[in-house]
Amino acid sequence: MKRLSLKNLAHLLLVLAFVVLTVTGCGASVAPTIPPEVTFVIPFEDFEQTNALISLETSNQSNWNYAALAIGIWSTIIRAGLAVPVAAFRASFQHTPVQQDDGSWIWSYSVNTGNATYTAELHAQFITDGVRWAMNISKEGEYQNFLWYYGECDLPATEGFWILKKSPTNATESVRIDWSRNISAGTHAVRYTNIVPGAPENGGYIDTQYTKGTPYDHIWDLYNKGQDNHTYIEWSSTTKEGRVKDSNRFGDDSWHCWDSARINVTCP
């Protein structure tokens, strides 16, 4: 076998170092791919739009009514509190990043929501085996470069987390989003956890999974920390059938089902 000279060995080491930097960090010439929307936004619309409105006048729809109401409450709370960061995240996919001198990348753009205009800067930096993300948001005349959320993910963007703060007037970390997805299977899971320090609901969460399983492909776990109570919901986006389990509501640990017309039925 031919032996490497010191000059050739040094050249080889330089090439290897360049490859490592290109893949894992400083000097990367290709921007990281932003994790998809399903890693940040719980798809409440999947439940709401594929089913009819709650019918409080129909007692034989009580199982469906309770499930829809429970999810609707969470939907309202999250949408109201995260309207600006969610809008900024969704808009990021429409823009092209610019590489900075330190090797990081920035997506910079304006976004309109709630009759107001915001300036958003999504920052990305390669780290060992992954990417670190940070979203700074500004509103003219009110605040500048507020770090509204940050997070990390692995290189293939199959798992990661986001940490969100309450607002520019209260920078307390309030929500942790843990997410994972199976790209080949087309499935994903997202959990929003209350992390407000000292809050009564600290540790409460809403967990959603899209499984493509049968008979139910949407799995929900809503945990009320204050009451130490779970509301479990499983339903099919294809047949619209589903079931709910909540010991506080029903006084038992059994499933309570509805059919494709949202009518109460005996669970199989």
DSSP letter for each residue of 84-149: HHHHHHHHHTTS--EE-TTS-EEEEEEEEETTEEEEEEEEEEEETTEEEEEEEEEETTTEEEEEEE
Q: How many CA atoms lie within 13 A of 44 on its CB side?
A: 16
Give pLDDT, residue 95.
97
Domain boundaries, the chain: 31-265
Give pLDDT, residue 7.
47
Give pLDDT, residue 169.
96
Among 79, 92, 81, CA closest to 136: 92
φ, ψ for residue 180, nearest 5 deg: -155, 155
Give pLDDT, residue 247.
96
Let me know: does 254 contact 267? Beta carbons within 8 Å.
yes
Give pLDDT, residue 94.
96
Give pLDDT, residue 257.
97
Give pLDDT, residue 17.
40
Tens of pLDDT along 71-90?
Answer: 888 888 888 889 999 999 99
Q: pTM score, two decimals?
A: 0.84
Rounded Cα gap, residues 203 and 195, in angstroms: 6
Give pLDDT, residue 12.
41
256, β-bridge pairs? 244
> Would you state the structure tokens that stand for residue 95, as one six-digit string?
């823009």
Give pLDDT, residue 42.
87
Among 241, 245, 214, 243, CA closest to 232: 245
Instruction: Name the stretches of the chain with pLDDT < 70.
Output: 1-28, 46-58
Transcribe 123-136 into DSSP letters. Answer: EEEEETTEEEEEEE
